[in-house]
């Protein structure tokens, strides 16, 4: 019997699909330092972001046939090394795109209207002062949205932006342009808008709102003080991709200088204990790495993982 260790859990429908295919699926969490011994009894492992599968672990489990990552990024897996050992490595790039894109816009709307400040300060009782302080909100229609990374999530973000009347530009070294359908429901074939890919610096100069959808950059920040200095006055920047893409010290400095209207962070350098200055800053909207945390996305992730593992191991 094929045995699967879902070490970071798996949604029930995905588990049921694998069990119907004759697999045994174990969801008991094995601590990282005990994985090498435990995996000797399994054919595959499913992980999210909590479990790492590095070279040292791979070398100790020669019978492992597959590593499945529930989610988009695979920076917690030594992917090429695993594949060089004949291990199949898969992820679920499509399943959570809509969930992440909607979270991005939840943050953008929040920062555009200062909702994060209202939520924190309404309890003080100074209604009139708070109302006056939030009088300078901005509307998103007509603003330019810069999407860094024009993959599945980036394109879904672009679709939503087009739907609310934003202009879209992108930056992706692997794409000259992408075609994005405008989400107008009930009219038959949707119109298509071509989103051109600019250099990162050119895009940063032109965008009112910037959102990041790229993998970790080998320990280097993508957005440093130099890039932050290029932003338009009152720009909004959003990172729901990976902690470390934005230099957090440079970000705090830019906020203190009054350069940026607001910042949204779902991911942090110091997870699971982010810098308290980020969590408490009045112009930062924060969530605890929940981009894919909708019931719909989790169900799709589980089913996509199941389909791939059944195809590999069945």
Structure-token pair, residue 293: 């945390």
CA dihedral sign, ordered 98, 104, 107, 112? negative
Instruction: Name the active-site residue from 19, 271, 277, 296.
Output: 271
Q: Is 289 annotated in the active site? A: yes
Instruction: Name the active-site residue from 242, 248, 303, 304.
Output: 242
Instruction: Name the active-site residue from 3, 206, 289, 299.
Output: 289
Q: Is 242 annotated in the active site? A: yes
Q: Is 271 annotated in the active site? A: yes
Active-site residues, by number, are 242, 271, 289
């Amino acid at each position: 019997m094929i045995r699967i260790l879902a070490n970071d859990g798996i949604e029930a429908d995905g588990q049921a699909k694998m069990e119907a295919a004759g697999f045994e699926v174990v969801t008991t969490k094995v601590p990282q330092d005990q994985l090498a011994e435990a995996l000797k009894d399994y054919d595959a492992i499913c992980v999210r972001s909590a479990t790492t599968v590095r070279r040292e672990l791979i070398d100790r489990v020669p019978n492992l046939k597959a590593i499945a990552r529930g989610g988009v990024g695979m920076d917690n897996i030594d992917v090429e090394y695993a594949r060089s050992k004949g291990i199949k490595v898969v992820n679920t790039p499509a399943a959570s795109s809509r969930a992440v894109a909607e979270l991005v816009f939840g943050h953008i709307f929040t920062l555009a209207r200062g909702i994060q400040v209202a939520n924190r300060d309404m309890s003080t009782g100074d209604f009139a002062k708070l109302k006056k302080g939030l009088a300078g909100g901005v509307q998103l229609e007509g603003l330019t949205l810069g999407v860094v990374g024009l993959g599945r999530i980036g394109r879904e973000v672009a679709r939503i932006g087009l739907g609310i009347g934003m202009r879209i530009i992108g930056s992706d070294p692997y794409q000259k342009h992408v075609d994005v359908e405008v989400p107008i429901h009930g009219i038959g074939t949707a119109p298509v808008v071509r989103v051109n890919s600019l250099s990162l610096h050119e895009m940063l100069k032109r965008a009112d709102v910037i959102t990041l959808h790229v993998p970790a950059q080998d320990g280097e920040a993508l957005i440093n003080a130099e890039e932050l200095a290029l932003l338009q006055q009152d720009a909004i920047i959003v990172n729901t991709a990976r902690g470390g893409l934005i230099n957090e010290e440079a970000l705090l400095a830019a906020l203190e200088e009054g350069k940026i209207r607001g910042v949204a962070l779902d991911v942090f350098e110091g997870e699971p204990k982010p810098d308290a200055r980020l969590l408490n800053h009045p112009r930062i909207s924060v969530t605890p790495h929940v981009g894919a945390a909708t019931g719909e996305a989790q169900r799709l992730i589980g089913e996509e993982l199941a389909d791939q593992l059944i195809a590999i191991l069945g």
